Amino acid sequence: GQQLNQSPQSMFIQEGEDVSMNCTSSSIFNTWLWYKQEPGEGPVLLIALYKAGELTSNGRLTAQFGITRKDSFLNISASIPSDVGIYFCAGPMNTGFQKLVFGTGTRLLVSP
């Protein structure tokens, strides 16, 4: 099925570094959602974006809704070991029952 492309696929960084990841699509989305998933757990909603150009923060996390509505970005500042996990972007399709499409994921590893 349709997927959103995320990059990078994985990142291994030192504690304290800033992190940037992005999510792109060939289709326009009206909503972008960012989730974090830790091993053996369900995804946890971090940030929701509803308007092109919107910039929203949640603590050390900042996400942006791309102007073209075909991309979104997530930044994590001053990373800490508990930031480890897989970060997924997601967006509801504009047709039918607005099925949520997920990105391919960015795996983040943080070294203390």
Chain contacts with other proteins (rule: CB under 8 A): 1, 3, 31, 33, 35, 40-45, 48, 88, 90, 92, 96-100, 102-105
Cβ 16 to other proteins shortest distance, Å: 28
Vertex 58: Cα angle to 78 and 92 (nearest 5): 120
Cβ 69 to other proteins shortest distance, Å: 15
What does R_g of the chain's alpha carbons equal in angstroms?
13
Cβ 41 to other proteins shortest distance, Å: 6
CB proximity list for 85: less than 8 A, separation 6 or greater: 36, 37, 38, 39, 107, 108
Query: Looking at beta carbons only, is 51 or 99 nearer to other proteins?
Result: 99
